[in-house]
Amino acid sequence: MGVNMKMIQQMQTRLESLQRELAETEVEGTAGGGVVKARVTGAREFRGISIDPSAVDPDDVEVLEDLITAAIQDAMQRANAMAEEKMGALTGGLKIPGLM
């Protein structure tokens, strides 16, 4: 029983370390060939957006809105993929509810 508790404690320590790493790691998503770039952390926290001036057309704001949405979605998908990969390495591929 003691060995199992030690293993659980080690896994918890690694999980906490991984969560800190994810919170500090930024992922970038892009849209429109890179004219809009969104940054999020591996913990899925939005950090910022950059927009190339060429993407700004006052007569067509909808296109810019779509590009921003697409860039954020791309960044979030990349952050999810990175987090799943790192968590999978920690859990040996097991899907543990509540970890993600």
Q: Which pLDDT score is estimated for 1?
A: 55
pLDDT at 97 over 70: no
pTM of the predicted protein model: 0.80
Of 95 and 80, the structure prediction assigns the larger pLDDT to 80
Q: Which pLDDT score is estimated for 87?
A: 84
What φ, ψ does residue 71 adopt, rounded to 5°? -65, -40
Please spell the DSSP secondary structure of 40-68, one letter per residue: EETT--EEEEEE-GGG--TT-HHHHHHHH
In the 8-state DSSP scheme, what is residue 82?
Answer: H
CA distance 69 to 41: 17
pLDDT at 18 over 60: yes
The domain 24-100 having CATH identifier 3.90.550.10: the answer here is no
Q: Of 15-19, 32-36, 70-74, which gets the smallest average pLDDT?
A: 15-19
CA distance 18 to 10: 12
Model confidence at 4, pLDDT cuts 50, 70, 90, reads confident
